Structure 1
């Protein structure tokens, strides 16, 4: 009996390290598995969050400026306007307005431009409703002693092509979207009555008293991406499904100290 006990003890002592090592390895394996599962869960959560952000885009609340320009214009041109064939001092032939405007040449700039009259709205007179998917580009030129001499101005899309009323937001006069350039407050406000979006982006508009401001818009079904001066300002759902869309641009509601805004180089493609 005693010899058996001694042997048992010896056997235990011989195999104890292996048992201990096996238990240690088992615990270590469990820890590794838990860590891997946690890492995978984090990656999946990040992917889900990234996907959600991609779908929602820059939309609600206060949005940062994205220093990115990934706009790609579509190549099937459906409308182009540079006013080259229009007579100076006249309202351009393919446009309509509640108050009118004049074709002019701007010193230091190439080509001809439509000078926007204060508190006037402008519409394309010869274009049917825009397609479901399209891109649009145009340019604004500002001239003023100070940027806040230029009152707030808007552009966007509405459900009809009437030039009877001045559109100042996305919620009246049959408007759908509104992008407001607020030179005095140095911000850009985007809103939509279709998707209940309202977002405010701080933008250094005080630096745009004598500038050319390129604007690019991409619309794909219900979603719209907006770029101001090659910076992404908006990327989110702005339209209800199947909504008719007509472009409008509303001139500044007022000018001070002989300020002016000019509009031109319009390109729409599908």
Structure 2
């Protein structure tokens, strides 16, 4: 009887503590303790109290932010432990054939824009603001419900180009999430022209927080098809990299390096003129924003995948901006593997070919640190070629020039993007 009285007091304490918090896991902890009471009472209660303590600790560790993103998002460590996706669980497909354009037309990571402002290089028919996400590098543009954004670019986009950007598929508790559309349109001034009634090419990512969500829709004004084999739920509260390749009438769409859409006759010169992103009007309205960053648009002269090798063999050197790395690191982004593979395959076919790989950076940060970083990045490319294509290490030399040989001004994001490059020189 005395033991039962003690248990009752402890469970009552759990109820009081759970009611005082706003985090649902306390209720789950109490329920779990009650369910186990018949078999392992003391052990179940002990675990329940541990959960209460843990929840209280986490509550006091969070910090609020006026923009509603940083304070409400889980930290990167929490995401790594609790989110439904990891880097190792991506769908298993062949290496991406995406090749980024080399002539940078537009680049924006919002680092020059103050938090809370709408970014200077974009236009909108609604609202948005630059924010930070707790545990995620850089700044992000949070696009509000029923708002469309377009980058400010002079003229129209060329016949052949690529677009790359990151989305953060945000979820905060039970708040409704956005329906995300992105694509191409004839509309230049989104503030004065109505996108809805115009012909356009678009891709839709929606309901990504639902169990087993896998459907990505696409269309021309109206939906014309879908792909239902991409695991969107694995990217909840994670970064999803999007790549688009336009070659005249052809459009290819890649999610995290996986080609989902390849339509050879989808585009017209008018449709491929401008890029847009839309937090679509829905009922109920989205209560969390669409988050986008690291946008880069680059012209591509042709659709030939061997252009880099041709340039190397004919002129003795070739330079590319399409080999990308994590910020301030020598970790190669998976989207870059195809470009490196062109050189790797050429070296496999020509046993006499020897090369020098030279890394270059922009001028951000310390000059000495930039030189060391460029050396490490050149070495990372070499190691990838050795490990992936079995190229003898003696056939590849590396060097890092840091910021010393700039090919463009380092005063603009576009210029900095051009200076961050990898050069291959035939020896």
Length-normalised TM-score, structure 1: 0.66
Contact kept? 2:145, 2:287, Cα under 8 Å: no
- 1:135 is displaced (CA, Å) by 0.7
Other-structure match for 1:174: 198
Other-structure match for 1:232: 259
1:81 is the counterpart of 2:112: no
Task: Check 1:71–1:225 CA distance in 2 against 1; reply closer, same or farther (3 A cut).
Answer: same
Q: 1:199 aligns with which of 190, 202, 225?
A: 225
Q: CA offsets, 1:60-92, max 9 Å, x none?
A: xxxx99654111101111111111111110010
SS where residue 207 of structure 1 aligns?
helix
Structure 1 Cα separation of the partners of residues 285 and 220 of structure 2? 29
Other-structure match for 2:164: 137
Other-structure match for 1:97: 124
How is 1:39-58 mapped onto 2 (pairs within 5 angstroms)?
none
Q: 1:122 aligns with which of 124, 127, 149?
A: 149
How is 1:13-32 mapped onto 2 (pairs within 5 angstroms)?
none
Structure 1 Cα separation of the partners of residues 172 and 270 of structure 2? 44
Other-structure match for 2:417: none
SS where residue 169 of structure 2 aligns?
strand
Other-structure match for 2:410: none
Q: 1:259 aligns with which of 288, 301, 314?
A: 288
Unaligned runs of 5+ in 1: 1-63
- RMSD (CA atoms): 2.8
1:190 is the counterpart of 2:218: yes
Other-structure match for 2:189: 162
* Bigger mean CA offset, 104-113 vs 254-263: 254-263
Other-structure match for 1:246: 274
Task: Check 1:163–1:66 CA distance in 2 against 1; reply closer, same or farther (3 A cut).
Answer: farther
Contact kept? 2:166, 2:292, Cα under 8 Å: yes
Q: CA offsets, 1:111-168, max 9 Å, x none?
A: 111011011000112432110000110001122146993232101111121323675x
Greater per-residue strand proportion: 1
- 1:174 is displaced (CA, Å) by 1.9
Contact kept? 2:177, 2:287, Cα under 8 Å: no
- 1:192 is displaced (CA, Å) by 2.3
Task: Check 1:150–1:243 CA distance in 2 against 1; reply closer, same or farther (3 A cut).
Answer: closer
Task: Check 1:109–1:219 CA distance in 2 against 1; reply closer, same or farther (3 A cut).
Answer: same
Other-structure match for 1:269: 298
Other-structure match for 2:137: 110
Task: Check 1:257–1:145 CA distance in 2 against 1; reply closer, same or farther (3 A cut).
Answer: farther
Structure 2 Cα separation of the partners of residues 258 and 81 of structure 1? 25
Task: Check 1:121–1:65 CA distance in 2 against 1; reply closer, same or farther (3 A cut).
Answer: farther
- 1:245 is displaced (CA, Å) by 1.4
Contact kept? 1:113, 1:263, Cα under 8 Å: yes
Greater per-residue helix proportion: 2
- 1:207 is displaced (CA, Å) by 2.7
Task: Check 1:174–1:256 CA distance in 2 against 1; reply closer, same or farther (3 A cut).
Answer: closer
Task: Check 1:178–1:147 CA distance in 2 against 1; reply closer, same or farther (3 A cut).
Answer: farther
Contact kept? 1:95, 1:122, Cα under 8 Å: yes
Structure 1 Cα separation of the partners of residues 291 and 272 of structure 2? 27
Length-normalised TM-score, structure 2: 0.43
Structure 2 Cα separation of the partners of residues 153 and 147 of structure 1? 18
Point out the structure with max Rg over C-alpha. Answer: 1
How many positions carry a matched residue from both structures? 201
- 1:260 is displaced (CA, Å) by 3.4
